[in-house]
Amino acid sequence: MRVLVSVDMEGIAGVVHGDDVIPGHSEYERNRKLLTAEANAAVRGVFAYDAAAEVQVTEAHASFRNLLPELLDRRAELLRGSPKPGGMMAGLAENTDAVLFIGYHGKAGTPRSVMAHTISGGTVADVRCNGRSLGELGLNTALAAHYGVPPVLASGDDTVAAEAAEVAPGIRSVVVKRALGARAAAMLHPDEACSQIEHAVPEALASREDVCPLRFDGPVELEVQVHRPRMTEHALLVPGMELADGCTLRYQAPDFPTAYQVTELIATLGAF
């Protein structure tokens, strides 16, 4: 069995504020340990299900340099650094048997959701594929589904659990904190969060055929809404890119992987 573990940071137990996940702030170094612990819990869960598994852990937060490599379970391969092919889903391939999403958060605009955003909170206001609004979880779910890979588990706050149920019916969720607002939560002790993740993974892997993830077949009309008109200017240099309105870029992608890559490109260009 080959399993990909995509690890974001805003959704881990203990994190409630932007300062908690940004290098240079006092809480960041401690939270890197909590992040690595939750990733390890997922890895242990995979090996509890299949002792001969191949596990890749791919960094999915900010510059993709947050996990502490020396503390990561030595049985897993770490995909680290930016840019890396596939971004948050680097390592995904047709021979992957399942994907786990650890430390994920709600999409931009989700009410009362801890640090909800999509890709770049300072740039992207919404992403729509064929008219459907998607956050990072939805985009990554659809990318996995394109390659026939089931997303089987998501961990984070209660709002991302609800989002997971919408984009991947049948997926298992581990709620490590209950959102009280954008910067407040009632949360599990970090050790308890790890315990619940570890025990949920084998059940999720065993039920992977029951998951029905969102999937886009054929061309995709991509719309990316940014926060300010000037954030569209660099992206409009891309051939085929159109301006739907002052803050919304539109692109006709031949397939979902292309739409996914163009979304990442718009988020990157909009920051300049």
**Sequence ranges of the binding site for Zn(2+):** 8, 10, 61, 105, 136
The CA-atom distances, in angstroms, between 167 and each of 32, 152, 154, 268 are 28, 12, 11, 25
Please give the positions annotated as active site: 117
Whether 4 and 89 have beta carbons less than 8 Å apart is answered as yes
The Cα 121–Cα 148 span in angstroms is 29
Residue holding tokens 């995709």? 220
Spatial contact of 106 and 135, defined as CB atoms under 8 Å apart: yes
In one letter, which amino acid is 264? Answer: E
- CB-CB contact of 160 with 140 (8 Å): no
Distance in angstroms (rounded) separating the CA atoms of residues 163 and 179: 13
Q: Is the dihedral of CA 238, 260, 229, 270 positive or negative?
A: negative
Output b/e per residue, 102-139; b: 16+ Cβ within 10 A: bbbbbbbebebbbbbbbbbbebbbbbbbeeeebbbbbb
| Partners of residue 99 on adjacent β-strands | 4, 151
Q: How far apart are CA 87 and CA 268, in angstroms?
A: 12
